[in-house]
Structure 1
């Protein structure tokens, strides 16, 4: 038994070392003065972070990523809430099949294939959306929509919406009031979880962005990829910033799940 525990513990340690070592080296490299041909960087400097927030190209790329991610969250919510409501209330097998297909879309269709399809669909003679931020936003909405719909579907099934809706109708509430006062507040946990997941996925998405963006609409991951060929320390600083944003988003998800679990326990 002790030998088995030691074996599994060693596997866990190796796994986390394999996952966390590159992140540790990136953070270390962001403070290193030089890093070329050695395992660890030499010297200590903050100039990479100064350059990161001082160059307009990188600041513009970060704001582009934040804007697209925020708009993707809003559009996904506007699409997902009515879609999930219709699928749940109508209880149609075809709609459920369509929902399951949408859930598999990011896995079944690689972003490269999706990007090529968007380029072919919106690049006509005399009219082209390739290189514009609306096409980038549309691509991110399509790619991240399942990450908004899945928690919402789980949420609406958990609250037993059919019973709640019947109770609202029996009390004389209108359809609009039922949606505003009952449906949306009860879907808030799923909305917040989907929003955080959508924001994180959109912020770190690279393959679609590198294919459909132009020089003015480049997102932060695209600029980050180009920075690796210019300056290693600067690229490490940019990567560290992206990792920090992702960790904050994941921490928000964890705290959100713990908060709603505690509320459910107290309510029970």
Structure 2
């Protein structure tokens, strides 16, 4: 009897597994297939574009041979755009750090309705098309010829576009760090406002500052719409140069420029991804520590 019961129980478990696990495996397999299909849909064109910049003749393919001729040609003609893009990104980062970090700190500490209104106004440029923001800058400041023809005109446009990302990143960290409590503790020990800001506030805001800085630099290097409206023949940045190469109707040259663009932007994207993973790990450890402390209490 016991053997019959065990056999019946085994049969029931096997039947349940066949009914429930098989559909789950099929669902998981379908999800993987869809994921790989989407990755291929996105990655294959990028790979083909890179290969086009390394082949002698795109229409003949790899059989025409591989060459660095197009990369050398692009670097010779547009290396000035590369350095100009880096200069614009560095200047944009400096301005957003000097203005965005204090603004985010003030907004995080303030609980008034006006602070929320200011926060929404800062984010407003993200909701507007880049062309609209550029047109507004031209209408207001275009009459100042020296400013209009200088690279600082593009920097101002990039600051308007990227400042919300710096403010949001820093404000989010400031809100979660409970800076008010930390500052009150430092003040009770006799620390001045400057000492509290540089020794307590900034170290706690570091993850948000780094994340915001990477976002600002990446967006500044790759921004096209706003830059295209604001640039002059003497202030041509990397994305504008990329558009010019594709307008030349020589796909090998445009693809070689794309390789150059990837070489600049991919390290920034990888750094941002690693930073994001590090922040998630830090938050997980902090939550675990708080949980352990609560249990001990």
TM-score (ref. length: structure 2): 0.82
In structure 1, distance between residues paired with 2:160 and 2:153: 11
Whether 1:248 aligns to 2:271 is no
User: Aligned residue for 2:17?
Assistant: none
Offset from partner CA, 1:38-78 (integer Å, 9 cap, x none): 787842111112223333xx111111100111111111111
Offset from partner CA, 1:177-228 (integer Å, 9 cap, x none): 1111111111111111100011000000001111111001010110111111
User: Aligned residue for 1:19?
Assistant: 42
In structure 1, distance between residues paired with 2:254 and 2:63: 13
User: Aligned residue for 2:131?
Assistant: 112
Query: Structure 2 residue aligned with 1:60, among 80, 83, 100?
Result: 80
Deviation at 1:96, TM superposition (A): 1.2
Whether 1:7 aligns to 2:2 is no
Query: Structure 1 residue aligned with 2:112, among 92, 107, 112?
Result: 92
Unpaired segments of 5 or more residues in structure 1? none
User: Aligned residue for 1:28?
Assistant: 51
Deviation at 1:128, TM superposition (A): 5.9
Deviation at 1:105, TM superposition (A): 2.7
Whether 1:236 aligns to 2:255 is yes
Deviation at 1:84, TM superposition (A): 1.2
User: Aligned residue for 1:71?
Assistant: 91
Query: Structure 1 residue aligned with 2:103, among 61, 83, 97?
Result: 83
In structure 2, distance between residues paired with 1:65 and 1:148: 19
In structure 2, distance between residues paired with 1:257 and 1:215: 38
8 Å Cα contact 1:69-1:203 kept in structure 2: yes
Moved more, 40-49 or 12-21: 40-49
**Higher helix proportion (structure 1 or 2):** 2
Whether 1:225 aligns to 2:255 is no
In structure 1, distance between residues paired with 2:263 and 2:110: 42
SS in 1 for 2:232: coil
In structure 1, distance between residues paired with 2:47 and 2:63: 12
Moved more, 178-187 or 84-93: 84-93
Unpaired segments of 5 or more residues in structure 2? 1-22, 290-297
Task: Please give the root-mean-square deviation of Cα atoms over the aligned residues, in Å.
Answer: 2.0
Q: Count the aligned residue pairs.
A: 263
8 Å Cα contact 2:97-2:166 kept in structure 1: yes
In structure 2, distance between residues paired with 1:136 and 1:92: 34
8 Å Cα contact 1:122-1:128 kept in structure 2: no
In structure 2, distance between residues paired with 1:95 and 1:265: 30
In structure 1, distance between residues paired with 2:279 and 2:128: 33
